[in-house]
């Protein structure tokens, strides 16, 4: 039972970490999108 509980706690920590990283990335993407729309378009044309 102890091993199973530890595994569940480990998975929960990983999911929580991924959720925080995903939320931070979404916020960063939205902020950069609203701030630098023209720059993003120019970068796409360059590449």
Residue by residue, pLDDT tens for the chain (47 residues) are 567 788 899 999 999 999 999 999 999 999 988 765 555 556 666 65
Quick one: tokens of 16? 């929580």
pLDDT number for residue 14: 97
pLDDT number for residue 5: 81
CA distance 3 to 1: 5
pLDDT number for residue 27: 95
CA distance 37 to 29: 11
pLDDT number for residue 47: 57
Quick one: tokens of 30? 């939205």
pLDDT number for residue 21: 98
pLDDT number for residue 34: 75
């Amino acid at each position: 039972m102890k091993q199973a509980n530890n595994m569940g706690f480990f998975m929960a920590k990983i999911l929580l970490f991924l959720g925080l990283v995903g939320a931070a990335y979404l916020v960063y993407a939205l902020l950069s999108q609203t701030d630098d729309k023209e720059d993003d378009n120019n970068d796409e044309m360059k590449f």
